């Protein structure tokens, strides 16, 4: 898994109280019981961590962690 | 204790069947009560966050670990004011022996006093807005800071689907909440009410605000001696955080299920000074109305009151005015205590903490002392308990709370 994925996992464990060993690349945020407010919190935290602006279309309840990492990676490259 | 001496008014008793306390005297009811019984000094600390403010100390709940109580994932979703009251509510509901898994949630209400709401959240997020811009502000800002959410979260925690609300009468809020909860039982709207109060106001801007009013003690070099209600050398209150929760049920229901009843809420009175934003009416007209209404509501005569758990903030004006009120309405027979000598003044939580203490006073036949009372203000002609608490039978306790805005609330508790 990419460096961005690892940093996303770290962000979820440190900022959202999730356990690293319960996180898998194919998990959706909905599966992790992250509600709409938690997803906005995640975009705020990701903007700080990665310096990219995410929307809740890109990171929604049905997005997997791997997909989110991919979006972040693409945006980082684009910047 | 029987009904009204005049027989025209049937007394309604709400049983206190559960207690939870998160106070500067301790995280938990047993720890809080033990330290309040000792009354050895003000549980205040100097706080680095308050450096540079004329008063740089306050009373915090020692050893409170929100992650241990709520879990790592949930703890960050609540302001400290909600964390404290959730912890107190969990203790109180467990203490009551009621089972939230099986109770009829539609018959369970939640009424909590809250003064300022999520002050720490507001201040932190405002700093983020100024420093980093709007995109860095938490989407939880509104649910974390709104004062009503304390009750909303407690309702969610226990599946309590009856009336859920927050009362705001400043430093009387906790007492107003308990009186309102009692009324929900009396009217039949609820069978159980989870009630109390919470406050977490130890932020730089709020402490500065109280300090600029001249309301706070400035004893930075002697914080354990800083809150000294009724003492001749008192110089202001010590601001505190805290929460307390009481589970109330109709006395008959509580007896029928064999619950342990700590005390009864037997009377409640509320009033307004209609006088001044922050100063009490020197004639005590409004406060007297609330006190006499609580006595009448309980059908108790002024000469039957054994103990007053005073508002006793340690400000010059409150303590002098309240002493005149007590002396005028109840004479000099009742033992008087202000536990704020230990706990400081936790604003909307104070009345709830003091109602819990009043219940424990009745249950244990022990009147706690007023910490730091070394030399009674000569103008105060009352039997204020100093140094050591008194082990003595207590049948009737009055608990006073007076808020900014001239909003007054008084509870009368009796032995179960």
Domain ranges within chain B, ordered by starting residue:
1-7+14-402
Residue B407 neighbours by CB under 8 Å, 6+ apart: B169, B170, B172, B176, B270, B272, B273
Yes or no, beta carbons of B139 and A37 under 8 Å apart: yes
- Whichever domain contains A34, its CATH number is 1.10.1200.10
Does B135 contact A at CB distance below 8 Å?
A: yes
Residue span of the structural domain in which A30 resides: 3-78
In chain A, the number of structural domains is 1
What is the percent of chain B where pLDDT is above 90?
96
- Confirm if B260 and B97 have CB atoms less than 8 A apart: yes
CATH architecture of structural domain B1-7+14-402 = 3-Layer(aba) Sandwich (3.40)
Check residue B281 and report its DSSP letter.
P
Q: What is the reported pLDDT for B10? A: 86
Using an 8 Å CB-CB cutoff, list chain A residues near B72.
Answer: 17
pLDDT digits (tens, 9 = 90+) for B197-245: 999 999 999 999 999 999 999 999 999 999 999 999 999 999 999 999 9
User: What single-letter DSSP state applies at residue B5?
Assistant: T
Q: Answer whether B228's CB lies under 8 Å from B314's CB.
A: yes
CA distance B370 to B387: 7
- The ipTM is 0.86
Please write the tens of the pLDDT for every residue from B69-83: 999 989 999 999 999
A40/B139 touch (CB, cutoff 8 Å), yes or no: yes
Interchain pair A48, B136: CB under 8 A: yes
- The candidate with the shortest Cα–Cα distance to B331, out of B357, B355, B302, B356, is B302
Q: Testing the interface with A: which of B67, B128, B139, B149 to mutate, by most A Cβ within 10 A?
A: B139
How does pLDDT run across A23-43, given as a tens digit for each residue?
Answer: 999 999 999 999 999 999 999
Active site residue B307: no
The CA-atom distances, in angstroms, between B169 and each of A10, A61, B174, B348 are 44, 41, 8, 8
Q: Which tokens go with B73?
A: 């994932």
**How far A56 CA lies from chain B's nearest CA (Å)?**
13
Distance, in Å, from the CA atom of B110 to the CA atom of B18, rounded to the nearest integer, reads 14
């Amino acid at each position: 898994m990419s460096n961005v994925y690892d940093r996303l996992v770290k962000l979820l464990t440190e900022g959202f109280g999730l356990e690293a060993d319960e996180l898998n690349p194919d998990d959706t945020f909905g599966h992790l019981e992250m509600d709409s407010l938690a997803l906005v919190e995640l975009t705020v935290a990701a903007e700080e961590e990665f310096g990219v602006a995410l929307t809740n279309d890109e990171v929604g309840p049905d997005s997997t962690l791997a997909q989110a990492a991919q979006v972040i990676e693409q945006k980082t490259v684009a910047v | 204790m029987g009904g009204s001496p005049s027989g025209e008014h049937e007394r309604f008793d709400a049983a206190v069947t559960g207690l939870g306390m998160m106070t500067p005297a301790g995280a938990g009811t047993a720890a809080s009560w033990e330290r309040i019984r000792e009354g050895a000094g003000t549980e205040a600390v100097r706080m680095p966050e308050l450096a540079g403010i004329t008063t740089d100390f306050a009373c915090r709940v020692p050893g409170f670990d929100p992650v241990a109580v709520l879990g790592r994932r949930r703890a960050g979703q609540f302001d400290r004011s909600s964390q404290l009251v959730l912890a107190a509510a969990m203790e109180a509901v467990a203490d009551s022996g009621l089972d939230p898994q099986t109770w009829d949630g539609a018959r369970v209400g939640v009424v909590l006093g809250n003064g300022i709401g999520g002050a720490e959240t507001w201040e932190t997020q405002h700093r983020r807005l100024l420093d980093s811009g709007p995109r860095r502000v938490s989407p939880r800002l509104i649910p974390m800071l709104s004062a009503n959410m304390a009750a909303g979260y407690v309702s969610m925690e226990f599946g309590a689907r009856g009336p859920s609300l927050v009362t705001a009468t400043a430093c009387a809020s906790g007492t107003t909440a308990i009186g309102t909860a009692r009324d929900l039982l009396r009217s039949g709207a609820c069978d159980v009410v989870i009630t109390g109060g919470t406050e977490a106001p130890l932020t730089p801007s709020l402490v500065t605000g109280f300090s600029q009013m001249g309301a706070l003690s400035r004893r930075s070099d002697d914080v354990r001696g800083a809150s000294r209600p009724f003492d001749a050398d008192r110089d202001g209150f010590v601001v505190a955080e805290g929460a307390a929760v009481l589970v109330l049920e109709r006395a008959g229901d509580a007896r029928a299920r064999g619950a342990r009843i700590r005390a009864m809420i037997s009377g409640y009175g509320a009033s307004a000074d209609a006088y001044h934003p922050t100063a009490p009416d020197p004639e005590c007209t409004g406060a007297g109305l609330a006190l006499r209404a609580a006595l009448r509501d309980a059908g108790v005569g002024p000469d039957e009151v054994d103990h007053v758990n005073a508002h006793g903030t340690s400000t010059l004006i409150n303590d002098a005015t309240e002493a005149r009120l007590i002396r005028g309405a109840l004479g000099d027979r009742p033992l008087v205590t202000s536990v704020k000598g230990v706990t400081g003044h936790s604003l909307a939580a104070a009345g709830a903490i003091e109602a819990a203490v009043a219940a424990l006073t009745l249950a244990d036949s022990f009147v706690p002392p007023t910490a730091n009372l070394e030399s009674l203000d000569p103008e105060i002609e009352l039997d204020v308990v100093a140094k050591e608490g008194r082990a003595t039978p207590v049948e009737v306790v009055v608990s006073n709370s007076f808020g900014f805005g001239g909003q007054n609330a008084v509870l009368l508790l009796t032995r179960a």
